[in-house]
């Protein structure tokens, strides 16, 4: 069995790559299991993995580091229920210090006998380009500190979304990364491209050198301050619309939430939507740097209502985020002549990171 840890900042493409790799490995007759992780409880990623029939367990209410025992328990559960050949565990995008708090404890203390095989960190190439060429980043300094620390400790750094930069800029960023991180395993990738993801899957399945052994030095006060600057909002609603207006209603919903966040110039970590009707499911993503084409991810929808799960991670105050999303939802419902039932809502700031173990 192989166990691959996958980290990296919010919206960097972790889930996209894991889904692609899991499909490829399943086509090779391997059984694949997934562990998701988040500070919240109602997770778009878990629902999205399960909607595609991947056996998925979750560690909720905090990062892997602060819930090490739960991670081990969930892995044992996955092992006992589905006997996977390969497990991917995706850590929450605001988490750092994984080597000292997960990798080393996993190698030294773990009782489940699961061999940790790789630790990949993803970054959006456009964010990396800004960072390495000293251009302004879309987040505050302590959030950027988390981003830097994630990259520093990667066993393998995937410079992702290369399709969104010109070839010249992409090569320049790669060269800068090679100079800045000498000796680090780096890969340029488009995770929406199956053959690119196949190469990643093959690499982590066969290269034994991708488990980093060196714990980073990290200032937990800055790490905690960075996490506290981010607000989490998880909300489940049912959107009711007049018949044949359901897709337009979903477009209005995403547009209203996006516009209200952008109008207030709040930095987006990642805003995700999972739309479910009896016959369809769709995930819509708004990452930190705008990506065109989210509307194309919404299929034609039948019926007059859909369940929508919203996970918003935004640099602002948690109560303010809740208020503005609520107003945007109401605005979208009235735009399409519909109404909304609120099913669950939770908004908060991540707590101070207190790892279960830390091996320096």
The DSSP letter of residue 218 is -
**Is there binding between residue 124 and Mg ion (CB under 5 A)?**
no
Q: For residues 168 and 175, give the distance between their C-alpha atoms in angstroms, rounded to a whole number.
A: 11
Q: For residues 123 and 272, give the distance between their C-alpha atoms in angstroms, rounded to a whole number.
A: 17
In sequence order, the 6+-apart residues with CB closer than 8 A to the CB of 222 are: 142, 145
Cα dist from 49 to 90, 252, 312, whole Å: 11, 25, 18
Q: Which is nearer to Mg ion, 34 or 336 (CB)?
A: 34
Other Cβ atoms closer than 10 A to 1: 15
Number of residues that bind ligand GDP (CB under 6 A): 20
Q: Which is nearer to Mg ion, 14 or 104 (CB)?
A: 14
Taking CB under 6 A as the criterion, the residue among 15, 67, 101, 118 binding ligand GDP is: 15
Taking CB under 6 A as the criterion, the residue among 2, 4, 7, 14 binding ligand GDP is: 14
Residue 288 Cβ, how far from ligand GDP at the closest point, in Å?
10
Q: For residues 141 and 317, give the distance between their C-alpha atoms in angstroms, rounded to a whole number.
A: 16
Q: For residues 103 and 142, give the distance between their C-alpha atoms in angstroms, rounded to a whole number.
A: 24
Please choose, from the candidates 176, 109, 171, the residue with its C-alpha nearest in 3D space to the C-alpha of residue 356.
109
Q: For residues 58 and 89, give the distance between their C-alpha atoms in angstroms, rounded to a whole number.
A: 9
**Is there binding between residue 347 and ligand GDP (CB under 6 A)?**
no
Contact stretch for ligand GDP (CB under 6 A) within 7-15, 75-83, 111-119, 257-265: 7-15
Residue 161 Cβ, how far from ligand GDP at the closest point, in Å?
4
Residue 62 Rama label (left phi>0; alpha psi -120 to 50; beta): left
Q: Are 267 and 139 in contact (CB under 8 A)?
A: yes
**Is there binding between residue 315 and Mg ion (CB under 5 A)?**
no
Please choose, from the candidates 112, 87, 74, 77, the residue with its C-alpha nearest in 3D space to the C-alpha of residue 32.
87
Residue 311 near which of Mg ion, ligand GDP, none (CB within 5-8 Å, type-dependent): none
Taking CB under 6 A as the criterion, the residue among 11, 33, 84, 249 binding ligand GDP is: 11
Residue 164 near which of Mg ion, ligand GDP, none (CB within 5-8 Å, type-dependent): ligand GDP
Sign (positive or negative) of CA dihedral 212, 74, 351, 140: positive
Question: Please, which residues bridge with residue 246 across strands?
Answer: none
Residue 282 Cβ, how far from Mg ion at the closest point, in Å?
15
Residue 305 Cβ, how far from Mg ion at the closest point, in Å?
26
Residue 312 Cβ, how far from ligand GDP at the closest point, in Å?
12
Contact stretch for ligand GDP (CB under 6 A) within 49-57, 160-168, 210-218, 331-339: 160-168
**Is there binding between residue 149 and ligand GDP (CB under 6 A)?**
no
Taking CB under 5 A as the criterion, the residue among 45, 72, 229, 235 binding Mg ion is: 45
The DSSP letter of residue 245 is -
Please choose, from the candidates 64, 70, 60, 34, the residue with its C-alpha nearest in 3D space to the C-alpha of residue 49.
34
Concatenated DSSP letters for 185-200? EEEEE-TTSHHHHHHH
**Is there binding between residue 15 and Mg ion (CB under 5 A)?**
yes
- Contacts with ligand GDP, 107-136, as mask; x by CB under 6 A: ---------------x--------------
**Is there binding between residue 192 and ligand GDP (CB under 6 A)?**
yes
Q: Are 123 and 174 in contact (CB under 8 A)?
A: no
Q: Which residues form the interface with Mg ion (CB under 5 A)? A: 14-15, 45
Q: Which residues form the interface with ligand GDP (CB under 6 A)? A: 10-16, 93, 122, 160-161, 163-164, 190-192, 270, 285, 287, 291
């Amino acid at each position: 069995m192989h166990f691959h840890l996958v980290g990296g900042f919010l919206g960097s493409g972790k889930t996209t790559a894991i889904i692609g790799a899991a499909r490829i490995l399943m086509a090779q007759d391997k059984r694949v299991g997934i562990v998701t992780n988040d500070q919240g409880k109602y997770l778009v990623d878990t629902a999205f993995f399960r909607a595609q029939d991947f056996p998925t367990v979750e560690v909720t209410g905090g990062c892997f580091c602060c819930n090490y025992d739960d991670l081990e328990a969930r892995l044992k559960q996955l092992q006992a229920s589905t006997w996977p050949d390969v497990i991917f565990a995706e850590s929450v995008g605001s988490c750092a210090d994984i080597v000292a708090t997960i990798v080393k404890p996993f190698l030294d203390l773990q009782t489940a006998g699961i061999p940790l095989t790789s630790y990949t960190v993803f970054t959006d190439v456009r964010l990396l380009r800004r960072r390495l060429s000293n251009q302004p980043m879309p987040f505050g300094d302590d959030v950027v500190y988390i981003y830097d620390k994630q990259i520093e400790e990667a066993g393998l750094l995937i410079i992702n979304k290369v399709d969104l930069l010109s070839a010249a800029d992409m090569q320049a960023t790669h060269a800068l990364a090679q100079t800045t991180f000498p000796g680090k395993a780096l890969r340029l990738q488009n995770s929406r491209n199956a053959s690119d993801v196949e190469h990643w899957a093959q690499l982590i399945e066969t290269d034994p050198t991708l488990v980093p052994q060196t714990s980073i030095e990290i200032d937990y006060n800055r790490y905690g301050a960075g996490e506290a600057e981010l607000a989490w909002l998880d909300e489940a609603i049912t959107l009711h619309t007049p018949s044949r207006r359901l897709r337009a209603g979903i477009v209005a919903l995403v547009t209203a939430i996006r516009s209200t966040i952008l109008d207030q110039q709040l930095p987006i970590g990642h805003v995700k939507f999972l739309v479910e009707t009896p016959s369809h499911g769709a995930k819509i993503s708004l990452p930190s740097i705008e990506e065109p084409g989210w509307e194309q991810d919404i299929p034609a929808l039948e019926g007059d209502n859909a369940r929508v799960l919203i996970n918003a991670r935004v640099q602002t105050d948690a109560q303010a985020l809740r208020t503005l999303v609520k107003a945007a939802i109401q605005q979208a419902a009235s735009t399409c002549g519909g109404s909304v039932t609120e099913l669950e809502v939770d908004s908060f700031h991540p707590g101070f990171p207190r790892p279960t173990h830390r091996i320096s």
